[in-house]
Structure 1
Amino acid sequence: MTVGPAGAGGLRERKKQRTRDALARAALELFTTQGFEETTVDEIAEAADVSQRTFFRYYASKLEVAFAVQEAVEEHFLRSLRSRPPEEAPFEALRNSTLAAWDTMEEVIAEMVPVELHMRTYLVIESTPALLAAHIRRSLATEETISRIVAEREGLDADADPRPRLAVAAMSGALRVAARLWSEGSDHSVRAIRELAAYYLDHLTPALIGPWRD
Protein backbone atom coordinates (compact mmCIF):
# COMPACT_ATOMS: atom_id res chain seq x y z
CA MET A 1 0.00 0.00 0.00
CA THR A 2 1.31 3.44 -0.89
CA VAL A 3 1.07 6.13 1.74
CA GLY A 4 0.09 9.49 0.27
CA PRO A 5 1.33 12.90 1.42
CA ALA A 6 -1.51 13.36 3.90
CA GLY A 7 -1.02 9.86 5.30
CA ALA A 8 2.73 10.37 5.61
CA GLY A 9 2.16 13.65 7.45
CA GLY A 10 -0.24 11.99 9.85
CA LEU A 11 2.27 9.19 10.47
CA ARG A 12 5.00 11.71 11.26
CA GLU A 13 2.75 13.53 13.69
CA ARG A 14 1.83 10.29 15.46
CA LYS A 15 5.50 9.37 15.72
CA LYS A 16 6.29 12.78 17.19
CA GLN A 17 3.48 12.42 19.70
CA ARG A 18 4.72 8.98 20.72
CA THR A 19 8.20 10.39 21.30
CA ARG A 20 6.82 13.30 23.29
CA ASP A 21 4.71 10.94 25.42
CA ALA A 22 7.65 8.57 25.93
CA LEU A 23 9.79 11.44 27.22
CA ALA A 24 7.05 12.58 29.60
CA ARG A 25 6.58 9.08 30.95
CA ALA A 26 10.32 8.50 31.37
CA ALA A 27 10.70 11.83 33.13
CA LEU A 28 7.84 11.24 35.58
CA GLU A 29 9.09 7.73 36.35
CA LEU A 30 12.49 9.14 37.22
CA PHE A 31 11.12 12.13 39.14
CA THR A 32 8.92 9.90 41.28
CA THR A 33 11.59 7.30 41.99
CA GLN A 34 14.75 9.34 42.46
CA GLY A 35 13.59 12.94 42.75
CA PHE A 36 13.25 15.93 40.43
CA GLU A 37 16.47 17.67 41.38
CA GLU A 38 18.42 14.42 41.22
CA THR A 39 17.27 13.60 37.68
CA THR A 40 19.18 14.89 34.64
CA VAL A 41 18.01 15.51 31.11
CA ASP A 42 20.53 12.92 29.92
CA GLU A 43 18.89 10.31 32.16
CA ILE A 44 15.43 11.15 30.82
CA ALA A 45 16.63 10.94 27.22
CA GLU A 46 18.39 7.64 27.87
CA ALA A 47 15.31 6.17 29.55
CA ALA A 48 13.21 7.16 26.50
CA ASP A 49 15.90 5.84 24.14
CA VAL A 50 16.48 9.17 22.42
CA SER A 51 19.29 11.71 22.33
CA GLN A 52 19.55 14.81 24.51
CA ARG A 53 19.10 16.84 21.34
CA THR A 54 15.80 15.08 20.72
CA PHE A 55 14.66 15.85 24.26
CA PHE A 56 15.16 19.58 23.66
CA ARG A 57 13.18 19.41 20.42
CA TYR A 58 10.13 18.52 22.51
CA TYR A 59 10.72 20.19 25.88
CA ALA A 60 12.66 23.28 26.85
CA SER A 61 13.62 21.96 30.29
CA LYS A 62 13.00 19.42 33.03
CA LEU A 63 10.47 21.83 34.49
CA GLU A 64 8.43 21.86 31.30
CA VAL A 65 8.32 18.08 30.97
CA ALA A 66 7.34 17.78 34.65
CA PHE A 67 4.06 19.55 33.86
CA ALA A 68 3.37 18.07 30.42
CA VAL A 69 0.67 15.71 31.66
CA GLN A 70 -0.75 18.29 34.06
CA GLU A 71 -1.15 20.66 31.13
CA ALA A 72 -3.26 18.07 29.31
CA VAL A 73 -5.38 17.60 32.44
CA GLU A 74 -5.91 21.36 32.77
CA GLU A 75 -6.97 21.64 29.13
CA HIS A 76 -9.38 18.76 29.71
CA PHE A 77 -10.94 20.62 32.64
CA LEU A 78 -11.29 23.82 30.60
CA ARG A 79 -13.08 21.88 27.86
CA SER A 80 -15.33 20.34 30.49
CA LEU A 81 -16.20 23.77 31.88
CA ARG A 82 -16.93 25.23 28.44
CA SER A 83 -19.30 22.34 27.71
CA ARG A 84 -21.42 22.70 30.87
CA PRO A 85 -25.12 23.49 30.25
CA PRO A 86 -25.72 27.24 30.16
CA GLU A 87 -28.53 26.96 32.73
CA GLU A 88 -26.11 25.83 35.45
CA ALA A 89 -25.23 28.52 37.97
CA PRO A 90 -21.57 29.60 37.93
CA PHE A 91 -20.41 27.69 40.99
CA GLU A 92 -22.48 24.65 40.00
CA ALA A 93 -20.76 24.62 36.60
CA LEU A 94 -17.35 24.90 38.27
CA ARG A 95 -18.09 22.05 40.67
CA ASN A 96 -19.58 19.75 38.05
CA SER A 97 -16.82 20.36 35.50
CA THR A 98 -14.17 19.67 38.15
CA LEU A 99 -15.69 16.33 39.12
CA ALA A 100 -16.44 15.39 35.52
CA ALA A 101 -12.82 16.08 34.62
CA TRP A 102 -11.64 13.76 37.41
CA ASP A 103 -14.07 11.07 36.23
CA THR A 104 -12.75 11.13 32.67
CA MET A 105 -9.09 12.04 33.27
CA GLU A 106 -7.82 8.54 32.55
CA GLU A 107 -9.25 8.70 29.03
CA VAL A 108 -7.25 11.86 28.38
CA ILE A 109 -3.83 10.82 29.70
CA ALA A 110 -3.88 7.03 29.23
CA GLU A 111 -1.70 7.18 26.12
CA MET A 112 0.78 9.51 27.84
CA VAL A 113 1.23 7.94 31.26
CA PRO A 114 -0.62 5.63 33.65
CA VAL A 115 -2.97 7.55 35.95
CA GLU A 116 -1.19 6.09 38.97
CA LEU A 117 2.08 7.69 37.81
CA HIS A 118 0.35 11.03 37.27
CA MET A 119 -1.02 10.92 40.81
CA ARG A 120 2.41 10.08 42.26
CA THR A 121 3.79 13.11 40.46
CA TYR A 122 1.50 15.32 42.59
CA LEU A 123 3.39 14.15 45.65
CA VAL A 124 6.70 15.06 44.04
CA ILE A 125 5.40 18.52 43.19
CA GLU A 126 4.26 19.08 46.78
CA SER A 127 7.66 18.12 48.16
CA THR A 128 9.90 19.90 45.62
CA PRO A 129 10.23 23.70 46.08
CA ALA A 130 11.03 24.44 42.43
CA LEU A 131 8.06 22.40 41.21
CA LEU A 132 5.71 23.78 43.86
CA ALA A 133 6.61 27.37 42.93
CA ALA A 134 6.01 26.61 39.26
CA HIS A 135 2.74 24.87 40.12
CA ILE A 136 1.50 27.94 42.02
CA ARG A 137 2.38 30.23 39.09
CA ARG A 138 0.62 27.91 36.67
CA SER A 139 -2.42 27.69 38.95
CA LEU A 140 -2.76 31.47 39.09
CA ALA A 141 -2.67 31.69 35.30
CA THR A 142 -5.23 28.90 34.99
CA GLU A 143 -7.50 30.59 37.53
CA GLU A 144 -7.49 33.72 35.37
CA THR A 145 -8.46 31.69 32.32
CA ILE A 146 -11.26 29.99 34.25
CA SER A 147 -12.51 33.34 35.54
CA ARG A 148 -12.81 34.65 32.01
CA ILE A 149 -14.66 31.52 30.85
CA VAL A 150 -17.13 31.94 33.73
CA ALA A 151 -17.55 35.63 32.94
CA GLU A 152 -18.21 34.85 29.28
CA ARG A 153 -20.80 32.21 30.25
CA GLU A 154 -22.63 34.78 32.33
CA GLY A 155 -22.26 37.67 29.89
CA LEU A 156 -20.03 39.62 32.30
CA ASP A 157 -16.89 41.69 31.99
CA ALA A 158 -14.29 39.89 34.12
CA ASP A 159 -12.34 43.11 34.59
CA ALA A 160 -15.36 45.06 35.82
CA ASP A 161 -17.27 42.43 37.80
CA PRO A 162 -15.40 40.79 40.72
CA ARG A 163 -17.68 37.76 41.00
CA PRO A 164 -16.01 35.44 38.45
CA ARG A 165 -12.57 35.81 40.02
CA LEU A 166 -13.96 35.50 43.55
CA ALA A 167 -15.88 32.34 42.69
CA VAL A 168 -12.86 30.76 41.05
CA ALA A 169 -10.58 31.78 43.92
CA ALA A 170 -12.98 30.21 46.42
CA MET A 171 -13.17 27.00 44.39
CA SER A 172 -9.38 26.86 44.04
CA GLY A 173 -8.98 27.32 47.77
CA ALA A 174 -11.30 24.42 48.50
CA LEU A 175 -9.46 22.22 46.01
CA ARG A 176 -6.09 23.15 47.52
CA VAL A 177 -7.35 22.05 50.95
CA ALA A 178 -8.55 18.76 49.44
CA ALA A 179 -5.24 18.21 47.61
CA ARG A 180 -3.18 18.90 50.73
CA LEU A 181 -5.19 16.46 52.83
CA TRP A 182 -5.02 13.89 50.03
CA SER A 183 -1.23 14.22 49.83
CA GLU A 184 -0.92 13.79 53.60
CA GLY A 185 -3.15 10.69 53.65
CA SER A 186 -2.41 7.08 52.81
CA ASP A 187 -4.81 6.66 49.87
CA HIS A 188 -3.38 8.40 46.81
CA SER A 189 -5.92 7.14 44.30
CA VAL A 190 -8.00 9.23 41.92
CA ARG A 191 -11.11 8.10 43.79
CA ALA A 192 -9.73 9.46 47.07
CA ILE A 193 -8.89 12.91 45.76
CA ARG A 194 -12.19 13.13 43.88
CA GLU A 195 -14.13 12.34 47.04
CA LEU A 196 -12.20 14.96 49.01
CA ALA A 197 -12.72 17.52 46.26
CA ALA A 198 -16.46 16.87 46.19
CA TYR A 199 -16.67 17.04 49.99
CA TYR A 200 -14.91 20.39 50.29
CA LEU A 201 -16.64 21.94 47.29
CA ASP A 202 -20.02 20.92 48.72
CA HIS A 203 -19.14 22.55 52.06
CA LEU A 204 -17.79 25.76 50.56
CA THR A 205 -21.05 27.70 50.17
CA PRO A 206 -22.41 26.78 53.66
CA ALA A 207 -19.04 27.75 55.17
CA LEU A 208 -19.13 31.15 53.49
CA ILE A 209 -22.75 32.16 54.08
CA GLY A 210 -24.15 30.01 56.85
CA PRO A 211 -23.80 30.16 60.64
CA TRP A 212 -21.07 28.01 62.14
CA ARG A 213 -22.62 27.57 65.57
CA ASP A 214 -25.59 25.33 66.25
Structure 2
Amino acid sequence: MKREEKKGRTRAELSAAAHELFAEVGFDSATADAIADRAGVSRRTFFRYFETKEAVFFADDEARFARFERELAERSKDETAFAAVRRLLLELAGELMLDRKRARLHHRLLASSKSLSAHDLELDMRWEAAIAEALAKDPRSAAAALLPAPLGAKMMAGAIMGVVRAGLRDWFEGGARGDLVERAQFAFQALENGFRPASTGRA
Protein backbone atom coordinates (compact mmCIF):
# COMPACT_ATOMS: atom_id res chain seq x y z
CA MET A 1 0.00 0.00 0.00
CA LYS A 2 1.36 3.43 -0.96
CA ARG A 3 2.10 5.93 1.78
CA GLU A 4 -0.65 8.35 0.74
CA GLU A 5 -3.17 5.52 0.54
CA LYS A 6 -2.19 4.37 4.02
CA LYS A 7 -2.55 7.89 5.39
CA GLY A 8 -5.94 8.23 3.77
CA ARG A 9 -7.05 4.91 5.21
CA THR A 10 -5.86 5.82 8.72
CA ARG A 11 -7.62 9.18 8.49
CA ALA A 12 -10.86 7.50 7.41
CA GLU A 13 -10.59 4.92 10.21
CA LEU A 14 -10.09 7.66 12.79
CA SER A 15 -13.10 9.53 11.45
CA ALA A 16 -15.27 6.41 11.54
CA ALA A 17 -14.12 5.52 15.06
CA ALA A 18 -14.77 9.06 16.25
CA HIS A 19 -18.33 9.11 14.92
CA GLU A 20 -19.04 5.70 16.46
CA LEU A 21 -17.86 7.00 19.82
CA PHE A 22 -19.73 10.28 19.44
CA ALA A 23 -22.91 8.29 18.78
CA GLU A 24 -22.39 6.22 21.93
CA VAL A 25 -21.30 8.79 24.51
CA GLY A 26 -21.94 12.15 22.89
CA PHE A 27 -19.40 14.56 21.46
CA ASP A 28 -18.60 16.39 24.70
CA SER A 29 -17.90 13.16 26.61
CA ALA A 30 -15.64 11.62 23.97
CA THR A 31 -11.89 12.09 24.26
CA ALA A 32 -9.04 11.98 21.78
CA ASP A 33 -7.54 9.07 23.72
CA ALA A 34 -10.77 7.09 23.45
CA ILE A 35 -11.02 7.80 19.72
CA ALA A 36 -7.44 6.66 19.15
CA ASP A 37 -8.05 3.52 21.20
CA ARG A 38 -11.20 2.74 19.22
CA ALA A 39 -9.29 3.13 15.96
CA GLY A 40 -6.40 1.01 17.22
CA VAL A 41 -3.78 3.74 16.97
CA SER A 42 -1.77 5.78 19.45
CA ARG A 43 -2.75 9.15 20.85
CA ARG A 44 0.23 10.60 19.02
CA THR A 45 -1.07 9.21 15.73
CA PHE A 46 -4.46 10.81 16.33
CA PHE A 47 -2.89 14.24 16.79
CA ARG A 48 -0.73 13.75 13.73
CA TYR A 49 -3.93 13.68 11.68
CA PHE A 50 -6.24 15.95 13.68
CA GLU A 51 -5.42 18.83 16.00
CA THR A 52 -8.65 18.46 18.01
CA LYS A 53 -11.71 16.24 18.23
CA GLU A 54 -13.63 19.12 16.57
CA ALA A 55 -11.29 18.72 13.61
CA VAL A 56 -12.13 15.04 13.21
CA PHE A 57 -15.85 15.78 13.56
CA PHE A 58 -15.73 18.39 10.79
CA ALA A 59 -13.19 16.59 8.59
CA ASP A 60 -15.74 15.65 5.92
CA ASP A 61 -17.27 19.13 5.98
CA GLU A 62 -13.88 20.77 5.55
CA ALA A 63 -13.04 18.42 2.67
CA ARG A 64 -16.33 19.26 0.95
CA PHE A 65 -15.73 22.97 1.37
CA ALA A 66 -12.18 22.75 0.01
CA ARG A 67 -13.43 20.82 -3.01
CA PHE A 68 -16.26 23.31 -3.52
CA GLU A 69 -13.85 26.26 -3.52
CA ARG A 70 -11.47 24.50 -5.91
CA GLU A 71 -14.13 23.40 -8.39
CA LEU A 72 -15.86 26.78 -8.27
CA ALA A 73 -12.57 28.48 -9.16
CA GLU A 74 -11.80 25.93 -11.91
CA ARG A 75 -15.24 26.00 -13.56
CA SER A 76 -15.61 26.49 -17.30
CA LYS A 77 -15.59 30.12 -18.47
CA ASP A 78 -18.95 29.45 -20.10
CA GLU A 79 -20.55 28.59 -16.76
CA THR A 80 -21.75 31.49 -14.63
CA ALA A 81 -20.82 31.63 -10.96
CA PHE A 82 -24.45 31.14 -9.94
CA ALA A 83 -24.85 28.12 -12.21
CA ALA A 84 -21.66 26.60 -10.83
CA VAL A 85 -22.73 27.18 -7.22
CA ARG A 86 -26.08 25.59 -7.98
CA ARG A 87 -24.47 22.57 -9.69
CA LEU A 88 -21.92 21.98 -6.94
CA LEU A 89 -24.45 22.30 -4.12
CA LEU A 90 -26.76 19.84 -5.87
CA GLU A 91 -23.85 17.41 -6.12
CA LEU A 92 -23.22 17.80 -2.39
CA ALA A 93 -26.90 17.13 -1.69
CA GLY A 94 -26.54 13.88 -3.61
CA GLU A 95 -23.50 12.92 -1.52
CA LEU A 96 -25.42 13.41 1.73
CA MET A 97 -28.04 10.96 0.51
CA LEU A 98 -25.41 8.22 0.07
CA ASP A 99 -25.09 7.74 3.85
CA ARG A 100 -28.25 9.09 5.44
CA LYS A 101 -27.54 7.37 8.75
CA ARG A 102 -24.23 9.18 9.20
CA ALA A 103 -25.75 12.45 7.98
CA ARG A 104 -28.52 12.18 10.60
CA LEU A 105 -25.99 11.41 13.32
CA HIS A 106 -23.86 14.37 12.29
CA HIS A 107 -26.89 16.66 12.44
CA ARG A 108 -28.03 15.30 15.81
CA LEU A 109 -24.60 15.79 17.34
CA LEU A 110 -24.41 19.33 15.99
CA ALA A 111 -27.71 20.17 17.65
CA SER A 112 -26.58 18.70 20.98
CA SER A 113 -23.31 20.61 21.36
CA LYS A 114 -22.89 24.38 21.65
CA SER A 115 -19.24 24.18 20.63
CA LEU A 116 -20.08 22.21 17.49
CA SER A 117 -22.96 24.53 16.63
CA ALA A 118 -20.63 27.52 16.93
CA HIS A 119 -18.02 25.89 14.69
CA ASP A 120 -20.74 24.95 12.19
CA LEU A 121 -21.92 28.57 12.04
CA GLU A 122 -18.36 29.68 11.38
CA LEU A 123 -18.09 27.15 8.55
CA ASP A 124 -21.40 28.38 7.11
CA MET A 125 -20.00 31.91 7.01
CA ARG A 126 -16.98 30.66 5.07
CA TRP A 127 -19.30 29.01 2.53
CA GLU A 128 -21.26 32.24 2.23
CA ALA A 129 -18.10 34.32 1.79
CA ALA A 130 -16.76 31.98 -0.91
CA ILE A 131 -20.05 32.16 -2.82
CA ALA A 132 -20.21 35.95 -2.49
CA GLU A 133 -16.65 36.31 -3.78
CA ALA A 134 -17.39 34.18 -6.85
CA LEU A 135 -20.61 36.07 -7.62
CA ALA A 136 -18.91 39.45 -7.18
CA LYS A 137 -16.23 38.53 -9.73
CA ASP A 138 -18.78 37.43 -12.35
CA PRO A 139 -20.34 40.37 -14.27
CA ARG A 140 -23.02 37.99 -15.59
CA SER A 141 -24.35 37.53 -12.07
CA ALA A 142 -27.93 38.66 -11.52
CA ALA A 143 -26.80 40.18 -8.24
CA ALA A 144 -24.31 42.38 -10.09
CA ALA A 145 -27.08 43.67 -12.36
CA LEU A 146 -29.34 44.62 -9.44
CA LEU A 147 -26.93 46.10 -6.92
CA PRO A 148 -23.32 47.29 -6.98
CA ALA A 149 -20.69 44.77 -5.99
CA PRO A 150 -19.99 43.54 -3.45
CA LEU A 151 -23.37 44.26 -1.82
CA GLY A 152 -25.45 42.44 -4.42
CA ALA A 153 -23.17 39.40 -4.33
CA LYS A 154 -23.26 39.30 -0.53
CA MET A 155 -27.06 39.49 -0.51
CA MET A 156 -27.36 36.72 -3.09
CA ALA A 157 -24.87 34.52 -1.22
CA GLY A 158 -26.81 35.08 2.00
CA ALA A 159 -30.03 34.08 0.24
CA ILE A 160 -28.42 30.93 -1.18
CA MET A 161 -27.11 29.85 2.21
CA GLY A 162 -30.47 30.64 3.77
CA VAL A 163 -32.11 28.27 1.30
CA VAL A 164 -29.46 25.62 2.02
CA ARG A 165 -29.89 25.87 5.79
CA ALA A 166 -33.68 25.82 5.68
CA GLY A 167 -33.73 22.93 3.22
CA LEU A 168 -31.32 20.81 5.23
CA ARG A 169 -33.12 21.53 8.50
CA ASP A 170 -36.45 20.49 6.99
CA TRP A 171 -34.92 17.33 5.49
CA PHE A 172 -33.37 16.27 8.78
CA GLU A 173 -36.53 17.05 10.75
CA GLY A 174 -38.30 14.66 8.40
CA GLY A 175 -35.83 11.88 9.21
CA ALA A 176 -33.66 12.55 6.12
CA ARG A 177 -36.30 10.89 3.96
CA GLY A 178 -37.11 11.86 0.42
CA ASP A 179 -34.93 13.13 -2.40
CA LEU A 180 -32.72 15.97 -1.13
CA VAL A 181 -31.48 16.76 -4.63
CA GLU A 182 -35.02 17.20 -5.91
CA ARG A 183 -35.84 19.44 -2.97
CA ALA A 184 -32.73 21.51 -3.63
CA GLN A 185 -33.65 21.89 -7.30
CA PHE A 186 -37.07 23.26 -6.36
CA ALA A 187 -35.47 25.56 -3.78
CA PHE A 188 -33.03 27.02 -6.30
CA GLN A 189 -35.82 27.49 -8.81
CA ALA A 190 -37.84 29.38 -6.20
CA LEU A 191 -34.80 31.52 -5.42
CA GLU A 192 -34.26 32.34 -9.08
CA ASN A 193 -37.94 33.25 -9.42
CA GLY A 194 -37.77 35.54 -6.41
CA PHE A 195 -40.13 33.16 -4.56
CA ARG A 196 -42.99 34.23 -6.81
CA PRO A 197 -45.63 31.53 -7.35
CA ALA A 198 -45.33 29.68 -10.63
CA SER A 199 -47.50 31.06 -13.41
CA THR A 200 -50.78 29.22 -13.92
CA GLY A 201 -51.07 30.34 -17.50
CA ARG A 202 -54.29 32.22 -16.79
CA ALA A 203 -54.85 35.75 -18.01
Answer yes or no: is 1:161 the counterpart of 2:146: no
Which residue of structure 2 aligns with residue 139 of structure 1?
A: 124
Answer yes or no: is 1:202 the counterpart of 2:189: yes
Q: Which residues in structure 2 correspond to 1:28-39 (within 5 Å)?
A: 28-39=19-30
TM-score by length of structure 1 reads 0.76
Contact 1:84–1:97 (Cα < 8 Å) also in 2: no
Work out the CA distance in 1 between the residues paired with 2:75 and 2:112: 34
Which residue of structure 1 aligns with residue 105 of structure 2?
A: 120
Q: Which runs of 5+ in 2 are unaligned?
A: none
Contact 1:41–1:62 (Cα < 8 Å) also in 2: yes
Residue 39 of structure 1: SS of its match in structure 2?
Answer: coil
One-letter code aligned to 1:201: F
Higher relative contact order (Cα pairs below 8 Å, separated by 6+ residues) = 1
- Number of paired residues? 193
Q: Which residues in structure 2 correspond to 1:58-97 (within 5 Å)?
A: 58-97=49-88
Residue 2 of structure 2: SS of its match in structure 1?
Answer: helix
How far has the Cα of 1:69 moved from its partner? 0.9
How far has the Cα of 1:211 moved from its partner? 7.2
RMSD: 3.0
Between the aligned residues of both structures, percent identity stands at: 32
Q: Which runs of 5+ in 1 are unaligned?
A: 1-9
TM-score by length of structure 2 reads 0.79
Work out the CA distance in 1 between the residues paired with 2:8 and 2:87: 30
Q: 1:55 aligns with which of 35, 46, 50?
A: 46
Label 1:88 to 1:169 Cα distance change in 2 as closer, same or farther (>3 A): same
Q: Which residues in structure 2 correspond to 1:15-30 (within 5 Å)?
A: 15-30=6-21
Contact 1:76–1:101 (Cα < 8 Å) also in 2: no
Work out the CA distance in 1 between the residues paired with 2:113 and 2:179: 22
